[in-house]
Structure formats: structure tokens, C-alpha cells
Amino acid sequence: MTVNLLDYDAAGLTAWFAEQGEKPFRAKQVLRWVHRSGVADFNAMTDLAKSLRDKLLQRAVVAPPAVVSDKISDDGTRKFLIDVGNGNAVESVFIPEDERGTLCISTQAGCALDCAFCSTGKQGFNRNLTVGEIIGQLWQANKALGAVHGNERVISNVVLMGMGEPLANYENTVTALHLMLDDNAYGLSRRRVTVSTSGLVPVIDRLREDCPVALAVSLHAPNDALRDQLVPINQKYPLQQLLAACQRYLTKAPRDFITFEYTMLAGVNDSDAQARELLALVRDVPCKFNLIPFNPFPGSPFRRSPADRVRRFGEILLQGGIVTTTRKTRGDDIDAACGQLAGQVQDKTRRRLERIIPVQESSE
Ligand code: SAH
Ligand code: SF4
């Protein structure tokens, strides 16, 4: 059977090489060729013995998912549409800034969690991405950005904030995280890799033990009554449980705060009173807030909060002692802004959430 080497982290690749009768250091060499140098052709891996190259040619491939479109926004944001087969496509977005370059990647084709204001959620869920499809987004972006020869680091940060819920595709996400952090692959520091979750409490605990990276939690509401409606997984893991998991996470996290994401929806979650309620809610959790002006998409009933409302809401949080930033809407001329990533997904869920999320108990 031919394997895709992009599906393996260092441990997996070493084990596979052992099965082929090869020494562990060969795995390390190949990892560096594939991820640091962006080489997919075994014949170009010049420091491998010819016999090993022949073996690899017979038994393995380096097969990233194909980039089917690559659009550049007026502000430099670049959106890649990635084909993951069977009519499904996901998106990744590169956001250049003065001090850093951030790649936002997807972890699932669609998403089962059905948050009220999210276009990915509205598409339903098709399937989890493989490790090769997750890390393949980084591989492809590096190549497109001309950063494959190890001499220039264009992508300094990775955020798992594209399509899908990373913690609902846990094993593959963690294996891909290992590659992002591995010095023989992408060599990013834990502080520069951020997992964003809508709040799968038991899986937050697993991540803390297995691979603690920076954590962003999608809050969006100051109380359970509203969050139940906006982020339905809250019905399973309400706010007090979520905030307790955040506190536990901080005991192992590479940063000493949790980032709370808060999508600003006009007339829904953006009042002064709600800002104050939020301050009381997160009182015991060291945190920063990132306010995200809602990005509209066709068929959505929500509107973006006006700029002065976002400013006022942020001021109240700041006065309450919480560092608060407002996310610049980048790339919206190419539909690359948060929550606008749609890709194209064949919905197989028909909203039967309990089948897809292992931690979800059936409530129907
Ligand atoms: N599933 C994960 C990560 C992907 S979503 C999560 O929910 O955290 C990344 C962020 O974009 C989340 O905070 C999400 O709530 C936000 N988002 C989704 N749709 C949006 C929209 N239409 N406008 C603005 N932000 C949105
Ligand atoms: Fe899924 Fe995140 Fe969108 Fe919710 S906001 S539907 S968890 S991708």
C-alpha cells in the first residue's frame, strides 16, 4: 500500500521507516526534505541512498491537497481554495502584517456545530480533514509564498481558525500540531500556534495534556441563555464548565492568558450591559478579548455591529482591566474574512449532530 508521508509526524514517520527496515535518522532527513524544503519528489532528495529513494518511490508519495484557486486581496491577504476530493473544498488564508505572517487553516470540510452566525456551520459537516490535508495547507502556502528553501520564514504564526472545529478532529489536529512545532518540519513556537475552539470542554483538557499551544475560545455571549442560541454546543458544555476548563488550561499553556473571541452582532450581543455582564463572567480567568465585527454572508439574518458600538463595547472591557483588540476585517473583498470561508462542502449531516461529535450525547 502506498502511504502519503504528509500524514505522519516524526514519531509516525520513524515507525514507518522502521517497518521498511530503515534507520530512524532517515525519517528525520526525509521530514526535513518534505517540510522544510518543500520537496515532494524523492529523486530530488539527494542525500538519500539510491536504494532508499527507489524504495520510497515504490511505497510512498508526498501528496498535498491541490490548490484550485489562489486570490490576493487589495490588502495583501491571500486566500487559497484547497480541493479535498469528492466535490469538497476548504480554504486557508494568509494574512501578512508588519511583524508577522499568519496562516489561518481549516481542519474539517464543513462543521457540525452549527453556530448561528457562521457560514461554515450553515454548510453542515462532511468529514474530518486528514493530517496530510491539514499540514498540506501549510506546505502549499509556504510553496506559494516562496518560502520553501528555509532561508526566509514568511509564515510565523498559524491559527486553526478556518473551516471546522479543530477539537472535533482531535487526533489529526494534534498530529498536525506536532509537525508545526517540530524543528525538522515547521519549527514554530507553541506561542505562535493557536487552536480556536467553540468550547468542547473535555477535549480542551486533552489538548492541555497532549500538546498545549495558545488557546482561543469562541465566547460570543455573556450568559448561557444567549450562548445556547448562538453556539449550540453550549447546551452541552455551559459557560461555567467552559471557563473552568480555561483556568485548567492555563496551568500548562505557553501563554498566560486565554484569548476570547467575540463576534459582534448588532442588537444581539453588543450592548453596554452585555459588556459589563461579560466582565463579571470572566473575572477569574486571565484573558484578552478579540472583538470580531460580524462578516455577513448570503442568507444570514445577522448584521454587523456599527463601528462606534464595537468601540464602546471594547472600551467597557478595557476599563474593566481586560486587554481588548478589535480584529481588522481583512480580505473581505475576496470573502476571506472570519466566518466567510465557505469552500464548498457536500453536506452529509442533515443536522444529526450526535453522530459526529463523539462527546455529544443525544438530546433528540
Ligand atoms: N470552530 C472554531 C474555529 C473556526 S471559526 C471556533 O468556532 O472557534 C473561527 C472564528 O470565527 C470563531 O471565533 C467564529 O466564531 C468566528 N466566526 C464565525 N463566523 C463568523 C462571521 N460570520 N463573522 C465573524 N466571525 C465569525
Ligand atoms: Fe463550527 Fe466554529 Fe463555525 Fe461554530 S463558529 S459552526 S464551531 S466553524
Domain ranges of the chain: 3-61, 67-356
- The per-residue pLDDT of the chain, averaged, comes to 91
| Ligand 2 atom nearest residue 118's Cα | 3
Q: Write phi, then psi, for 312 (nearest 5 degrees).
A: -60, -45
From 52-56, 90-94, 145-149, 298-302, the region with the lowest mean pLDDT:
145-149
User: The whole model's pTM is what?
Assistant: 0.93
Q: Is the model more confident about 344 or about 131? A: 131
* Closest ligand relative to 110 C-alpha: 2
- Section 83-112 average pLDDT: 93
User: What atom in ligand 2 is closest to the CA of residue 121?
Assistant: 6
Output the CATH code of domain 3-61.
1.10.150.530
Query: What's the 20 CA to ligand 2 centre distance in angstroms?
Result: 41
Q: How confident is the model at residue 149 (pLDDT cuts 50, 70, 90)?
A: very low
Catalytic residues: 91, 338
Provide the total of helices (H) and of strands (E) in the chain, helices listed first: 12, 14
320: exposed, middle or buried (Cβ count in 10 Å: 0-12, 13-18, 19+): middle
CA distance 197 to 203: 10
Quick check: 344 and 89 in contact, CB under 8 A? yes
Would you give the end-to-end CA distance of the chain in angstroms?
A: 42
Q: Determine the length of the chain.
A: 364
Ligand showing the shortest atom-to-Cα distance for residue 269: 1
In the predicted model, what is the mean pLDDT of residues 106-121? 94
The mean per-residue pLDDT over the stretch 222-231 comes to 98
pLDDT for position 179: 98
Beta pairing partners, 108: 128
Neighbours of 96 (CB within 10 A): 15
User: Taking each helix axis from N to C terminus, what angle separates 170-181 and 10-19, rounded to the nearest 10 degrees?
Assistant: 90
Tell me what the mean pLDDT of segment 183-200 comes to: 97
Q: Among 114, 260, 359, which residue has the most ligand 2 atoms within 8 Å of its CB, making it the best to mutate?
A: 114
**% residues pLDDT > 70 (the chain):** 88
Residues with CB under 6 A from ligand 1: 115, 117-118, 161, 165, 196-198, 218, 261, 263, 292, 294-295, 338-339
Confidence check: pLDDT of 342 > 70: no
Q: Helix, strand or coil for residue 301?
A: coil
CATH for 67-356 is: 3.20.20.70
From the CA of 338, how far away is ligand 1's center (Å)?
6
